[in-house]
Amino acid sequence: MSQRVTRSQAGYTPKKPENPGFVETPGRRRSQRRKSISAEDAETTGFIKRSDVVSSPEKPLNGSLANGNGHANGYTNGHANGSANGHPKTEATSSGLEVEAAKNFPPKDKGGLHEFGGALGMSAMMIGFPALMYYMWIGATFYDGKFPKPSGSQSYSDFFEHMWNLVKTEAYPTNEAWQIYWFFGLTQMAFYMLMPGVYRKGKALPHLGGKQLDYYCSAMWSFYSSIVIMLTLHLTGVFRLYTLIDKFGHIMTVAIISGFLCSAIAYISARVRGATVRMTDNVIVDFFLGSELNPRLFGILDFKMFLEVRIPWFILFFLSLGTCLKQYEQYGFVSGEAGEHLIITTWDMYYEKLGFMLIFWNMAGVPLSYCHCTLYVANHHPSEYTWPTWFIVLLILAYSFMYYIWDTTNSQKNQFRQEERGVVDERTTFPYFKYGRIANPKTITTKHGNKILADGWYGKARKIHYTCDLFFAVSWGLITGFNSPFPWFYSVFFAGMIIHRAMRDIARCRELYGEAWIEYEKQVPYLFIPGVF
C-alpha cells in the first residue's frame, strides 16, 4: 500500500502519516550527508546529471524485484530526483530492459534526423508557427475574425508593413507583459513544490536499469488555490483578470520569446552537464527534439510535467475566466457560450525529450493558439454567435459525458500501470469517478511479460480517449459558430495530430508487442468509437 509523504520524508522509506486521509504539505528538506553523488548534485545545482544517477534497480519494499512485465514493482527507496537511499543491487538488469534501453534510449540515435522533415522541416516549424500565431492574432483582433489580406489597391509590401507595425505596436513585449507572464509562471513553480500533493512512480526507465523516478503531484491544490487568488486579485482591483485579453498580443510575444530562451537554456544545460540521450549530432534536430529526458529543479520540480500540465491549461482557463468577467462588466451577463497525476506514465513523460517542440508548444503554442474560441467570444457581442438555449444545454450534457469517459479512461490506464508497480490506492481528487479503477482487469500478456489492458474503456475501443480529445476540440470551435476560421484552428490542427499520433501508436505497438497486440485488435476491433469505428 502506498503512502502519501511529505517532501522532507522523500529521501527515506515512507512512513505512514498520522492522518492517512489527509495529504500533507511538502516540508523543508533537512540537510543530510549522503553517499549518493546525484543527491549532492541536486542539492548544489538543482539539476540531476544523468551519468550520476544510480542505474541499477533498487530493491522494492515488498522484496519482489519485478511483477513479470519488466518493470520494477514497488517503491524506489530514494528522493524524487531518483537518487538512491539504499545500496544498489549488483544483479544484472533483465535482458528485456537492456533491449529496450538499446532501442529507445541509446546515447546516439540517427532516427530523429527523419522526423518532421528533418532539420529543414524543423527549422520551418520554428519560424512558421510563431508567424502563424501572429497572423491569427491579427486576424482575430484587427480584421473582425477574418483572414488578413491586402485591401483594395493595397500592395503586398504595404500589407506586410502594416502587419509588422501591428506587431511592433500592439504586441511589443512590454515590461508589464513580462511581469504578468513570469510572475504567473514562477508562482506556479512555487505551488508545484510547496502545495499539498502526493508522490507517484513513473514508468521504469530501461536506460537507468529499470529505475522509476518519483513525481510530485500537486496540481489539484495549485489549480484551485490559483482560482481563489486570481478572483481575489480581480475583485479587489489589484489585477483585473481580463487584462490577459486586453494585453494578449504583448503577452503572446513574451511567451514566444520565453519559449525560445528556455529551449536554448535546456539544450545548453543538458550538453554542459552531460545529461544528453538519443542525440543525432545535428544541432537543429537536437535543439528541436531535445537533449535531456527528465530535467529537474531542486530534485522535485520535473520541468516536463510542469510545462505539460501547469502553464498551457492554466492559462487557457484564466483566459476563459477573464472573458466571462469582461462580459459581465460590459453586458451585465455572461453568455452561455463562455461558460496531473494521470500523465506520469504517458509516452511524453517516458520517451519524449524536453526540447523546443515541448517547451515552446507548452509555453506559447498551446495556451495562445488553442484559445481563439475565447478571443472570438471576448471580441464580439453575444448576438453574433448566440446559439439556442436547448443547444447549449445539449452541448453541456454531451461535453460532461465525454469528460466522464475521458477522465475515467485515463484514470483506468494510469491506475493499471501504477498498480503494476505496487501503488494500490486511488487518488480521489475532485472531480472523482469510481469507474476510474478496474478491479482485476482483463489483460493480454506479451512474449516479454508486459501486459496490455483490455478492459474498461480500453475493452470497448483502443483509442477512445482520442475521441474525447477531438470532441472537446470541435466543441470549442462549434460554440463560436462559423463566422471566423480562427476558433476552428484548434479543432483542425488537433484532428490531424490525433490521427497521426494514433497511426504512429498502432505501428509502434504492433512492433513492440507483436502477436499480443494483434490479439488485442481482434478482441477490441474498434479504434475510436465502440461499435462504430
Asked if 7 and 193 touch (Cβ cutoff 8 Å), the reply is yes
For residue 446, CA distances in Å to 42, 453, 468, 507 come to 38, 11, 28, 16
CA 91 centroid distance within chain: 35
289 vs 272: CA distance, rounded Å: 17
11 vs 2: CA distance, rounded Å: 15
Query: Can you give the pLDDT of all 533 residues of the chain as single tens digits?
Result: 444 444 434 444 344 344 433 344 444 333 333 333 333 333 333 333 333 333 333 333 333 333 333 333 333 333 333 333 444 433 434 555 565 655 566 667 777 788 888 899 999 999 999 999 999 999 999 999 999 999 888 999 999 999 999 999 999 999 999 999 999 999 999 999 999 988 887 777 776 777 888 888 888 889 999 999 999 999 999 999 999 999 999 999 999 999 999 999 999 999 999 888 888 889 999 999 988 888 888 888 989 889 988 899 899 999 999 999 998 888 887 876 665 444 444 545 444 667 888 999 999 999 999 999 999 999 998 888 888 989 999 999 999 999 999 989 988 888 888 777 666 666 566 667 777 788 889 999 988 787 899 999 999 999 999 999 999 999 999 999 999 999 999 999 989 988 888 888 888 888 888 899 999 999 999 999 998 98
128 vs 369: CA distance, rounded Å: 13
Helix extents (H) in 84-206: 95-104, 118-142, 156-170, 175-194
Residue 368: the pLDDT is 94
Write the secondary structure of 10-30 as one string of H (helix), E (strand) and C (coil). Answer: CCCCCCCCCCCCCCCCCCCCC
Indicate the Cα dihedral angle 413, 414, 419, 423, nearest 10°: -170
Which secondary structure element, helix H or strand E, spans residue 507, and what is its range? helix 489-513
**What are the φ/ψ torsions at residue 302 (nearest 5 degrees)?**
-85, 110
CA 31 centroid distance within chain: 32
Global pTM value: 0.75
290 vs 265: CA distance, rounded Å: 11
Residue 185: the pLDDT is 95
Asked if 363 and 307 touch (Cβ cutoff 8 Å), the reply is yes
Q: Is the dihedral of CA 288, 291, 294, 298 positive or negative?
A: negative
374 vs 337: CA distance, rounded Å: 9
CA 342 centroid distance within chain: 10
3-state helix, strand, coil in the chain (%, to 5): 55, 5, 40
Q: Which residues pair with 452 in a beta bridge?
A: 444
Q: What is the DSSP letter of 524?
A: S
Count how many residues are written for the chain.
Answer: 533
Asked if 476 and 373 touch (Cβ cutoff 8 Å), the reply is yes
Q: What is the largest CA-CA distance in the chain?
A: 79
The SS3 of residue 276 is coil
Cell output for 465: 480517449
Give the closest residue to 261 by CA, choosing from 190, 165, 170, 181.
181
Q: Which residues pair with 215 in a beta bridge?
A: 200
Residue 28: the pLDDT is 38
Determine how β-strand 296-297 pairs with β-strand 301-302: antiparallel
